[in-house]
Amino acid sequence: MIPHGTLISEVGAEAIEKGFGVPIFGSRKLLNWESDRQLKEKLMKESGIRTPRSFSSPKEINTLAIVKLHGARGGQGYFLADSPTSFQEKKRIMEKKGILKKGTTLYIQEYVVGVPVYLQFFYSPLTRELELLGVERRYETTVDAIGRIPSQMQEGVMPSYVVVGNIPLVLRESLLEEVYRMGEEFVRTAARLVPPGVIGPFCIEGVYDENAEFVAFEFSARIVAGTNLYILGSPYSGLIYEKPLSMGRRIAVEIKNAMRSSSLAKVLT
Ligand code: AMP
């Protein structure tokens, strides 16, 4: 059992799956898939969502790559490398600065140039409908600050990807069809690979590349911090509900509807 008074963020996905003794809204198993980079990649790939190439060893790096830690870290400790040598150099610098502990398992992924976009969905197992409730982009230091320095003075500045805030975004309308297609495919694939699949909020996270095609580098199988933008609803939730509706309130509505229809088993794990 998890000791009384422990914060959820300190617990970790595995402990939630195995040791959290109360029913929770959402899928515990999917949280585990979220925190394991290989499983995460598998779920996105099998959903037919375009993902960046991943490298199983630093020796394979032959293009610009982003090096990440496992689990949700808000971009903390990430760095870029474009060759096995630059990987070793940057890793050494990060370890020396104390940002990275020696021996940490790292995940290396192709860096996709484009604008980052985070898609906030809600899937209802009761109505079997998918809702897009918000779109955002993250404000990250120092990568979003580098354009503020003249290019001839940028040498030696190492971009970092630490999330400090969220910025609301409305997508070009023609992109929405593909957004829903990806979300629906994700829900179908999660139900097949990790039953019972998605329950409630999830987020697909990626970039739109130079052809305005979406490449997803992450998903979150839960409510994400960026939904805080839309406490009074978003341009997307307004289209569905025509009244202020946050992601938190959407969860509450789902729980109430499940209670009313004696279907709590469909939304709790
Ligand atoms: P994450 O923790 O995976 O959400 O990544 C944090 C930030 O790193 C993202 O918001 C992006 O700015 C950046 N990022 C992560 N993966 C990639 C990638 N494959 N290509 C480009 N940028 C990335």
- Residue 16 · residue 70 · CB < 8 Å: no
Helices vs. strands in the chain: H and E counts, helices first = 9, 9
- Cβ–ligand 1 distance for 116 under 6 Å, the answer yes
Whole-Å CA distances, 220 to 84, 97, 206, 217? 30, 29, 11, 11
Q: Where are the alpha helices (DSSP H) in the chain?
A: 8-11, 13-19, 28-35, 37-46, 84-96, 176-193, 235-241, 247-260, 264-267
Q: How far is the CA of 257 from the centre of ligand 1 (A)?
A: 36
Q: What is the pLDDT of residues 33-52, one digit of tens each?
A: 998 888 999 999 999 999 99
Question: Cα(249) to centroid of ligand 1, in Å?
Answer: 28
The distance of Cα 26 from the centroid of its chain, to the nearest Å, equals 16
CATH of 5-52+112-266, one of 3.40.50.10860, 3.40.50.1820, 3.30.565.10, 3.30.470.20: 3.30.470.20
pLDDT confidence of residue 2: 60
**Domain limits, the chain:** 5-52+112-266, 53-111
Q: How far is CA 224 from the centre of its chain?
A: 8
Distance 78 CA to ligand 1 centre (A): 9
Most informative mutation of 53, 111, 161 for ligand 1 (most atoms within 8 A of CB): 161
Three-state DSSP class for residue 215: strand
Q: Are 122 and 131 in contact (CB under 8 A)?
A: yes
Nearest CA to ligand 1 atom 5: 75
Is any atom of ligand 1 closer than 6 Å to the C-beta of 217?
Answer: yes
Could you tell me the sign of the dihedral formed by the alpha carbons of 44, 45, 47, 51, in that order? positive
Q: Could you give phi then psi for residue 77, rounded to 5 degrees? A: 80, 5
Quote the pLDDT of residue 17: 72
CB of residue 66 inside a 6 A radius of ligand 1: yes
Give yes or no for residue 41 CB within 6 A of ligand 1. Answer: no
Structure tokens given for 145: 């600050």
- CA-closest residue to ligand 1 atom 2: 75
Residue 25 and residue 267 in contact, taking contact as beta carbons nearer than 8 Å: yes
Q: What is the pLDDT of residues 153-174, one digit of tens each?
A: 888 888 889 999 999 999 999 9
- The pLDDT of residue 41: 92
Nearest to 45 by CA among 186, 144, 228: 186
* pLDDT tens by residue, the chain, 269 residues: 566 655 555 567 777 777 678 899 999 999 999 988 889 999 999 999 999 999 999 999 999 999 998 765 677 888 999 999 999 999 999 899 888 888 888 999 999 999 999 999 999 999 999 999 999 999 999 999 999 999 888 888 888 899 999 999 999 999 999 999 999 999 999 999 999 999 999 999 999 999 999 999 999 999 999 999 999 999 999 999 989 999 999 999 999 999 999 999 999 99
Name the CATH superfamily for 53-111. ATP-grasp fold, A domain (3.30.1490.20)
Nearest by Cα to 222 from 72, 52, 75? 72
75 lines ligand 1 (CB under 6 A): yes
**Closest residue (by CA) to atom 8 of ligand 1?**
161
Q: For ligand 1, atom 23, which residue shows the shortest CA distance?
A: 111
Alpha helices in 3-148 (DSSP H): 8-11, 13-19, 28-35, 37-46, 84-96
Tell whether ligand 1 has an atom less than 6 A from the beta carbon of residue 52.
yes
pTM score: 0.91
Side chain identity at 140, as an amino acid letter?
E
Q: Which residues contact 186 (CB under 8 A, 6 or more apart)?
A: 43, 44, 47, 49, 198, 202, 204, 219
Task: Please report the pLDDT score of residue 3 as a whole number.
Answer: 61
pLDDT, position 190: 98
pLDDT at 8: 52
In whole angstroms, what is the distance from residue 131 CA to residue 133 CA?
6
> From edge to edge, which strands make up the β-sheet containing 200-208?
161-168, 129-142, 115-124, 200-208, 214-220
Does ligand 1 lie within 6 Å of residue 218's CB atom? Answer: yes
